[in-house]
């Protein structure tokens, strides 16, 4: 059985950390956005605390690698911290993976939430610790925007003991579609496609064997998306998987070019459909305006024929 952090309750303290890019207006998250996110978490009943180096700035990084790694370890070891939410992604988490103490993380399992560049940490912790982590909203980037839908699913994932159950996209979209029909129940793993590929050939390499692979990306033109998905295929990761949830992929379009291009849908058809495994596209777990929170490492039922995803197991322990 997977290792799980304790359920978050009103009055608990959430540490806000910056494992990747910094808090800076030109890095998509300003101090005003971060303060609004903290207020929203406080309105939910939580206390928040910034990690010691959360506001550091070193180019496109939130401080030195050692500082960002130390902040993450501080949050896991601090007995006054009950959960950890990343402020934003961007770039930088692969650089700190060798600096983390995975034995210590295993001794102090906690709710850990993020997506995008945070995928590298999800993969490393899944591989070396077996801890359930959460592919979900980040404080500065997501919790400072339209929050009702995102808040609902965040709360259900980290603050309720029951399994999340059937996942539902917001009424505004995206619209899910069947790529390949079928039904499978298996653990879910994955995250941002670019970061999943980055783990290949490293001690933190994603293990898709018998698992439902969730992946998404943002701002990747189709040929780059094709290259990364082909890389996973050549590494045997697609054949090993039990099924696929391709989340909303934002701005993965050809752009202004007269060159011949394949569409994202054609690429998925070329590389995913021939496998004959249950697969859907369009779950609201990408870089869209509203997002689900999904516990990685728990059992999920994918009914691709009906475009239904049901989380069968809670990601937290009471």
- pLDDT tens-place string over residues 22-76: 998 887 899 999 999 999 999 999 999 999 999 999 999 999 999 999 999 999 9
**Residues 65-90, mean pLDDT to the nearest whole number:** 98
Domain boundary among 135, 158, 181: 158
Q: What is the mean pLDDT of the chain?
A: 96
Is residue 111 over pLDDT 80?
yes
Q: Is 283 helix (H, G, I), strand (E, B) or coil?
A: strand
Total Cβ atoms within 10 A of residue 251: 11
Euclidean distance between CA atoms 100 and 97, whole angstroms: 6
Q: Give the pLDDT score at 190.
A: 98
DSSP 267: H
Band (pLDDT 50/70/90 cuts) for residue 141 is confident
For the chain, percent of residues with pLDDT exceeding 70: 100
**Residues 135-149, mean pLDDT to the nearest whole number:** 92
Range in 244-248, 260-264, 296-300 the model is least confident about:
260-264
**Residues 2-28, mean pLDDT to the nearest whole number:** 94
Query: 145 and 108, same structural domain?
Result: yes
Is residue 108 over pLDDT 90?
yes
Strand order in the sheet with 212-216: 165-166, 308-311, 299-303, 183-192, 212-216, 243-247, 279-283, 177-180
Query: 292 and 184, same structural domain?
Result: yes
Domain boundary among 141, 158, 175: 158
**Residues 230-234, mean pLDDT to the nearest whole number:** 98
Q: Give the pLDDT score at 61.
A: 97
Query: 285 and 227, same structural domain?
Result: yes
Q: Give the pLDDT score at 261.
A: 87
Active-site residue list:
116, 216, 287
Answer for the pair 119, 147: CB distance below 8 angstroms, yes or no: no
Q: In the structure encoding, which two tokens stand for residue 214, read together?
A: 């969730």
Query: 306 and 169, same structural domain?
Result: yes
Q: Give the pLDDT score at 259.
A: 83
Q: Give the pLDDT score at 258.
A: 78
Query: 231 and 137, same structural domain?
Result: no
Q: Give the pLDDT score at 14.
A: 98
pLDDT tens for 122-134 read: 999 999 999 999 9
From first CA to last CA, the distance across the chain in angstroms is 15
**Residues 97-111, mean pLDDT to the nearest whole number:** 98
Euclidean distance between CA atoms 118 and 18, whole angstroms: 10
CATH number for the domain spanning 286: value is: 3.50.30.60
Q: What is the pTM of this model?
A: 0.97
Is residue 256 over pLDDT 80?
no
Answer for the pair 183, 308: CB distance below 8 angstroms, yes or no: no
pLDDT tens for 174-226 read: 999 999 999 999 999 999 999 999 999 999 999 999 999 999 999 999 999 99
DSSP track, 47-102: EEEE-TTTT--BTTBSS-HHHHHHHHHHHHH-TT--EEEES--SS-HHHHGGGS-H
Give me the helix-helix angle, 264-271 and 222-234, nearest 10°: 10
Query: 134 and 177, same structural domain?
Result: no
Total Cβ atoms within 10 A of residue 52: 14
Query: 189 and 110, same structural domain?
Result: no
Domain boundary among 101, 129, 158: 158
Euclidean distance between CA atoms 154 and 11, whole angstroms: 16
DSSP 250: B
Query: 143 and 12, same structural domain?
Result: yes
Euclidean distance between CA atoms 310 and 318, whole angstroms: 21
For the chain, percent of residues with pLDDT exceeding 90: 91
Q: Which range marks the domain in which residue 190 is found?
A: 165-317
Specify the number of domains making up the chain. 2
Q: Is the dihedral of CA 265, 266, 272, 274 positive or negative?
A: positive
Q: Give the pLDDT score at 257.
A: 73
Query: 217 and 186, same structural domain?
Result: yes
Range in 178-192, 205-219, 232-246, 253-267 the model is least confident about:
253-267
CATH number for the domain spanning 72: value is: 3.40.50.10740
């Amino acid at each position: 059985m997977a290792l799980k952090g304790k359920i978050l309750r009103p009055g608990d303290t959430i540490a806000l950390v910056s494992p990747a890019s910094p808090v800076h207006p030109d890095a998509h998250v300003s101090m005003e956005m971060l303060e609004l996110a903290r207020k929203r978490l406080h309105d939910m009943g939580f206390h928040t605390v910034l990690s010691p180096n959360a506001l550091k700035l070193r180019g496109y990084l939130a401080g030195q690698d050692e500082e960002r790694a130390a902040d993450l370890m501080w949050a896991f070891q601090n007995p006054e911290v009950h959960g950890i939410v990343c402020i934003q992604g961007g770039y930088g988490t692969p650089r700190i993976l060798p600096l983390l103490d995975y034995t210590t993380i295993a001794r102090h399992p906690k709710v850990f939430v993020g997506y995008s560049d945070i995928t590298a940490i999800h993969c490393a912790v899944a591989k070396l610790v077996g801890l359930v982590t959460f592919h979900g909203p980040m404080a500065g980037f997501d919790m400072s925007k339209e929050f009702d839908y995102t808040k609902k699913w965040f709360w259900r994932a980290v603050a309720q003991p029951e399994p999340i159950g059937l996942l539902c996209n917001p009424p505004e979209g995206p619209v899910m579609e069947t790529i390949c029909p079928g039904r499978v129940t298996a653990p879910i793993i994955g995250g941002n496609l670019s970061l999943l590929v980055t783990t290949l050939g490293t001690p933190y390499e994603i293990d898709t064997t018998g698992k439902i692979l969730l992946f998404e990306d943002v701002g990747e033109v189709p040929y780059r998306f094709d290259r990364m998905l082909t890389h996973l295929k050549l590494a045997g990761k697609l054949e090993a998987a039990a099924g696929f949830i391709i989340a909303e992929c934002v701005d993965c379009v050809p752009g202004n070019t007269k060159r011949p291009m394949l569409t994202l849908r054609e690429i998925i058809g070329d590389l995913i459909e021939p496998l004959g495994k249950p697969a859907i596209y369009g779950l609201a777990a990408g870089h869209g305006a509203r997002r689900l929170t999904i516990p990685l490492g728990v059992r999920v039922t994918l009914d691709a024929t009906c475009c239904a995803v049901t989380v069968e197991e809670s990601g937290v322990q009471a």
